[in-house]
Structure 1
Amino acid sequence: MEIKHIPLESALPIRHAVLWPSKPPSFCQVDGDETALHYGAFVDDKLVSVASIYLTGNKARLRKFATLPDYQGQGIGTQMIERILSQLALTEIEYFWCDARSSALGFYRKFGLMQEGEEFYKSEVAYCKMSLHIPPKSLKPKG
C-alpha cells in the first residue's frame, strides 16, 4: 500500500460512494477543499481510501475520511491516520480534530483522540467531536 497526496478531484468519487451515496456528488464537497491537503491510499495502484486535512493556524481538522467497503477492516484507515499524525507532528500543528461518526468513536480513540461535548446530528447521522493535542515541536524529543 502507498499513501500520498492526491488532488481533490481524485478524492471526490470515493467520498461520494462511501459517505453520502444517496446525496448528489456536490454534497461531498466542503468549504476549504481548494486549499486542504488531500491524502489517498493506493492498493495495487487503485485509490481505495481518502482523507482531507484542513489547516487553520495551529489546528488541523480531518474531514471526509472514507475507505471503499471492500477495503475496510484491513488496517488501511489506521495507516492513513498514523501517516497524517506523524506528518502533522513535524509541523506547528498543536491540535488535531474531527467530527467523527458516532459509530467510529472506537477507531479514533486508538490514536488518543478524546470526545469533546455531546453527540450531535448532521443529515440524520450521529457525530461527536474528537480531538487530540499534539505537543509543540519544541517539546518533542530531538533526533
Structure 2
Amino acid sequence: MEIKPISWQEALPLRHQVLWPNEPPAFSKVEGDEDALHYGAFLDGEIVCVASIHFSSEFTDAHNKTKNARLRKFATSQAHQGQGIGSLMLKRILTDLKQEGVSIFWCDARETAMGLYERFGMHAEGERFYKGDIPYFRMSKNVENA
C-alpha cells in the first residue's frame, strides 16, 4: 500500500461513495478543500482511503500562535474497511503533522469511530452532538507532545 498526497478532486469520488452516496457528488466538496492537504491510500493503483487535513492558527496569548490541523472527510471504501488502512493513514498524517510543527490535531468523530481515534491518543471533548441523525464527539490530541 502507498499513502501519498492527492488533489482535492481525487478525494471527492471516494468521499462521495462512502460518506454521502445518496447525495449529489457536489455535496462531497467542503469549504476550504482547495487549501487543504489531502491524502490517498492506494492498493494496486486503486484509491481505497482518503483523508483531508484543514489548517488554522490560533493565538494562545499575545505572543504565541498555535498551528492546528483538523481531520475532515476521512473515508475508506466499504470493501477495505476493518483492514487497518485507516490506522496506517492516521499514523502517516500524525507523523507528517508533527514534522510540520502542528500543535493540535482534532476532528469531529462519528461516535461509531471513536475507538479508532482513541487508539491514537485522541480524547473526547464536550458532549455528544448530532449532524443530521448521526452522533458525533469532538476529539483532539496534542501533537507536539506525541
Measured against aligned partners, the alpha-carbon deviations of 1:75-101 in whole angstroms (never above 9, x if no partner) come to 100000000000111122100000000
For residues 85 and 32 of structure 1, the distance between their equivalents in structure 2, rounded to whole angstroms, comes to 20
Q: 1:94 aligns with which of 99, 103, 106?
A: 103
For residues 7 and 100 of structure 2, the distance between their equivalents in structure 1, rounded to whole angstroms, comes to 21
Q: Which runs of 5+ in 1 are unaligned?
A: none
Q: Shift of residue 123 of structure 1? A: 2.1
Q: Is structure 2 residue 17 aligned with structure 1 residue 17? A: yes
Give the structure 1 partner of residue 50 of structure 2: 50
Give the structure 2 partner of residue 109 of structure 1: 118
Measured against aligned partners, the alpha-carbon deviations of 1:88-137 in whole angstroms (never above 9, x if no partner) come to 1112210000000010001100000000011111122111100001226x
- SS of aligned partner of 2:33: coil
Q: Shift of residue 51 of structure 1? A: 0.1
RMSD of aligned alpha carbons: 1.1
Give the structure 2 partner of residue 83 of structure 1: 92
Q: Which runs of 4+ in 1 moved over 2 A?
A: none
Query: Please, which moves more after superposition, 121-130 or 64-73?
Result: 121-130
- Give the fraction of aligned pairs with identical amino acids, expressed as a percent: 53
Give the structure 2 partner of residue 125 of structure 1: 134
The count of corresponding residues between Structure 1 and Structure 2 is: 137
Contact 2:129 2:135 in 1 (8 A): yes
Give the structure 1 partner of residue 60 of structure 2: none
Normalising by structure 1, report the TM-score.
Answer: 0.93
Q: Name the amino acid aligned to 2:118.
A: R
- SS of aligned partner of 1:111: coil
Give the structure 2 partner of residue 61 of structure 1: 70
For residues 34 and 102 of structure 1, the distance between their equivalents in structure 2, rounded to whole angstroms, comes to 28
Measured against aligned partners, the alpha-carbon deviations of 1:21-43 in whole angstroms (never above 9, x if no partner) come to 11222221111100000000000
